[in-house]
Amino acid sequence: MIELQALRHKILDIPALSIPEGHCMVIGPNGAGKSTLLELCAGMQVPAGGTVSVSGTDPRRCTVGWVSEFTDRTVVFDRVFDEIASPLRFAHRPCGEIDTRVRETAALIGIGHLLAASTQEISGGEKTLVALATAVIASPPLLVLDDPDTHCDARTARHVQQVLGRLPIPHILQCTQDMDTAIGADTVLYMEKGRVVHAGTPQEVFSRLASSCFYPECWRNGPCA
């Protein structure tokens, strides 16, 4: 469980919120505080007031996987293999373990064919997949994705969601602008002006947004699977 208590930070004002295990999508208009919320849950910012905990632990003391909207800005190494391996190398894991886990993770994400490629020569969608592999290779209890599908084509965006559904990670917290993607989550948070206005299952949240632009396109003629 991700727990927020009396959280105040910049625009955010969240008296209390519990996010259960599973895949949680965060939606809302620009400037609602979505990215700030994700960064606090990832331990990338310290709240001005209140607390954030992941399974009872301060996220700054947890291993957290992070995938940015701008994956081209977060690439550090020239070779895809080295980029994915970097979290394990920084943790001083044995070379044999690193090699095995990089290849297993790349296969799971579907980018095994890219391991020898240059990170400067792959596409934007492929960089998102590399960033995802790098974020999950250390098996974090929390994976946070800030609009990962922004620079992906529709096929890659669907592939990312399929991969997320296979990951054995307790908490996945994702911001998205695609409501047809959000309906596949276990939990949806709808934010406005720094507050979580609606929280619940996709059906519960989107039923309250039926007359808004946030209602999923594929549900406009009746809910789809």
Share of residues in the chain with pLDDT > 70 (%): 96
Nearest Cα neighbor of 40 from 75, 20, 11, 69 is: 11
CATH code for 2-218?
Answer: 3.40.50.300
β-bridge mates for residue 14, sequence order = 7
Residue 75 or residue 84, greater confidence: 84
pLDDT at 146: 94
**Per-residue pLDDT at 216:** 73
Per-residue pLDDT, 219: 62
Closest to 71 (Cα-Cα) out of 3, 125, 10, 142: 125
pLDDT reported for residue 212: 81
Q: 3-state class of 5 per DSSP?
A: strand
Residue 109 has φ and ψ, to the nearest 5°, of -80, -20
Does the pLDDT at position 223 exceed 70? no
The tens digit of pLDDT for each residue in 7-34 reads: 999 999 999 999 999 999 999 999 999 9
Q: For residue range 33-66, what is the model confidence (pLDDT) as tens digits?
A: 999 999 999 999 999 999 999 999 999 998 999 9
pLDDT recorded at residue 225: 42
Domain boundaries, the chain: 2-218
pLDDT at residue 224 in the model: 46
pTM for this prediction? 0.89
